[in-house]
Amino acid sequence: MRSVMVGGLGVLGVISAVVVGWFMLNESSLVFPGQSRTDLPIAPGAAAEFPWDSLRVGGAGGATTFLIESSLPTDVSGRWAIFFHGNDMLVSDSGGRYALLRAAGFNVLSVEFRGYGASKALGRAEEQGTYLDAMAGWTYLTETRGVRPDSIVVYGFSIGSGPATFLAAQEDLAGIITEGAFTSAPDIAVLRYPWLPVRWLMKTQFSNIERADSVSEPWLLFHGLDDQIVPFSHAGALAKAAPNARVVPLEAGHSNGVTKHRETLLNALREFAIEVFGEAGR
């Protein structure tokens, strides 16, 4: 009996080691599933409901970050929003949010993460890479385009909240908007893999909660009350930790708030523009 128990424990140990090893080897694919997507074009199509241009800009280590730029006619507002998409998306997959930002009076710059779409050649997606790509977009706007930092807000959807809070915590920008933001990547992973020691295993952190108290700019948090991917409680925790944050609850899930409550979001964005820029939106 004792040998059977020892043998059984040994088998369980081997299985556990295999599962842990698989998780560690596949962390990038699990955290950034969109890097394997081939069903979407790498840029908005000709039928897109907004005008856009694509460009590549130099970044750290000689990398070239792919950007989508959508300017309002004659750049009437001078305000910009840098958009960071979710982990199962490409820059071509956020047209509804671009249109919403434009309607609220923002020019839009969207950053493609390395490993995704037109930036696939830069290697596998990973957390630090998204920060480098975010900085490439920021540098393009502030240095190449000469846009003043206090004329820029950042907008992060889901995992895009990571690079959004990264920029907001270290740059003197006008404000931050997040949609479906989480406290940290391990906090989400423990919900999906409760049987794994993910807090110990994960290299990817995206710890928005640790940066929250350094985000002094006005912070607008959209979050679905029925979000099954990132529980609504994450929005409350982030807002509590940040000095100047406000939550806009939506009767929606993780990603459909824009389509279900467009007018609510549009009004909130226009009010936010008044708050951060001191004037009415376009």
Which residues in the chain come in under a pLDDT of 70? 1-25, 46-47, 60-61, 74-77, 279-282
Query: pLDDT at position 60, please?
Result: 65
Query: pLDDT at position 190, please?
Result: 95
Mean pLDDT rounded to a whole number for the chain? 89
Query: pLDDT at position 196, please?
Result: 86
Query: pLDDT at position 59, please?
Result: 72
Query: pLDDT at position 2, please?
Result: 55
Query: pLDDT at position 121, please?
Result: 85
Domain boundaries, the chain: 32-277
Query: pLDDT at position 76, please?
Result: 57
Both tokens of 230, joined, read 């990132």
Q: Domain 32-277 has what CATH class?
A: alpha beta
Query: pLDDT at position 228, please?
Result: 97
